[in-house]
Amino acid sequence: MKPTTCFAPAHILLPSEQVPLEQWGCIACDQFTSDRSYWQRAEETAAGAPSTLNLILPEVYLEDGDADARVEKIHATMQDYAKNVLTRAVDGFIYVERTEQSGRVRQGLVGRVDLEAYSYRRGEKCTVRPSECTVESRIPPRMKVRTGAALETPHIMMLADDPDCTLIEPIAAHKDSLPKVYEGELMLGGGHVAGWAVEDPALIAQIENALTVLGSQEEFDKKYPDATRRDPLTLAVGDGNHSLATAKACYEEQKKGKTPEEYLALPARYALVEVVNNHDDALQFEPIHRVLFGVDHEKFMEEFKKFYPNTHEGKGEGHTIEVCWAGHDEFITVPDPKVQLAVGTLQAFIDEYLKKFGGEVDYIHGDEVTRELGGKPGNMGFLLPAMGKEQLFKTVMADGVLPRKTFSMGHAHDKRFYIECRKIL
């Protein structure tokens, strides 16, 4: 399958039909990073059956002393699953319907994105770009998992700005004629998921034609007449920004010393992802909150008001942020902000404060979890307003990438679950 666009058909591997989906599927590794109990319950749920949980390193364990041993075990498990568990394959795309806890049904297409068409570095011309800032220091620890891995399984979700619904929705209209390759409940309240094989050459050509139009200069000029960058954008990274950046970094390592003919044929040239239409009614953007650990709230607020001298307590015009710490919950407002989003205002100060005074930050999904963690001694929680998804592409076109962890595509439980696999060696 020679790719003709930045998002192409793939040889997608699936487990035997005898493997229970509720045990096989596991939520994205970058969720519940301050909640080890979730991952302990996931281990209990998956016990005794093959599971993608055994193919990933949850980021809650990334800094643990046994991370290297975990990676070694992951790589061995990949070899085993490639031989004995992943006995089915789809040559094409997989059309996915994910029923979330809310009852909304989100549609997507799983295929491979061409890393030659992608860069996480600002200003580079590419048709696949991040929507949020990439922190390059976060890439090397994640490279340890992917380097030497026989398989990949995706939690990366890409966004297409497709208001006319030309890419995914026409495939959904044909789903009754497609082979269903999996369906079932997801572990720990993750909802329901079903997938259909898209192998018909006519449907694949339809997908590729839609992508060609979406990535054309004509379409770009029509949608974004005021964009500061004039090079077309076909797909933006919605979730899994650092995972895709890690795949790119690993591919760049493998390219060294090889001719273009050799490295363009590498399996590592691609990464398996799911593409979702940004205009899908079921797709909801949720804010990603912040929790600081090991900080003095009085010192923090004193420095915050020095950084933003016009800050006042309570709600008002400008950027309003809810702040909570032990026994307290209040709103603060920064009038006349210099950036478009409240997350940009807050993150700029957090980065400066931690650099100067120390402490740690985590990025949290969910209001109650943020209040619970922020209310513990030595912690502070910051609840941010949601960004409207209609702002995403326009803001990226106007201002470049957003601050890291600006938004989440749904609640934590609604994140993509690992199901499909692909060989990368």
Instruction: Return averaged pLDDT per consecutive 10 residues of the chain, 425 residues in all.
Output: 78 97 96 91 96 95 87 96 98 96 92 95 85 85 93 95 96 97 96 97 97 93 82 90 95 96 96 96 89 95 96 95 94 90 92 94 90 95 88 74 77 90 95
pLDDT at 321: 96
Torsion sign over Cα 122, 134, 92, 76: positive
CB-neighbour burial class of residue 110 (10 A; exposed 0-12, middle 13-18, buried 19+): buried
Whole-angstrom CA distances from 416 to 9, 121, 156, 321, 413 are 19, 25, 8, 28, 9
The pLDDT of residue 3 is 53
CB atoms within 10 A of CB 294: 13
Amino acid identity, position 10:
A
- The C-alpha atoms of residue 32 and residue 213 are separated, in whole angstroms, by 38
pTM for the predicted model, two decimal places: 0.85
Q: Is 124 exposed, middle or buried (0-12, 13-18, 19+ CB in 10 A)?
A: exposed
Q: CB burial class (10 A; 0-12, 13-18, 19+) of residue 388? A: exposed
Q: Cα dihedral sign for 260, 135, 154, 279? A: negative
Q: Which amino acid does the sequence have at 395?
A: T
Distance separating alpha carbons of residues 27 and 413, to the nearest angstrom: 8
Q: What angle do CA 129, 351, 247 make, to 5 degrees?
A: 30
Sign of CA dihedral 44, 108, 245, 85: positive
- 342-357 helix and 297-307 helix, angle to the nearest 10 degrees: 120
Burial level of 247, CB count in 10 A (0-12/13-18/19+)? buried
What's residue 1's pLDDT? 46
d(CA 43, CA 27): 12
| CA separation for the pair 267, 82 (Å, rounded) | 15
Distance CA 134, CA 118 (A): 13
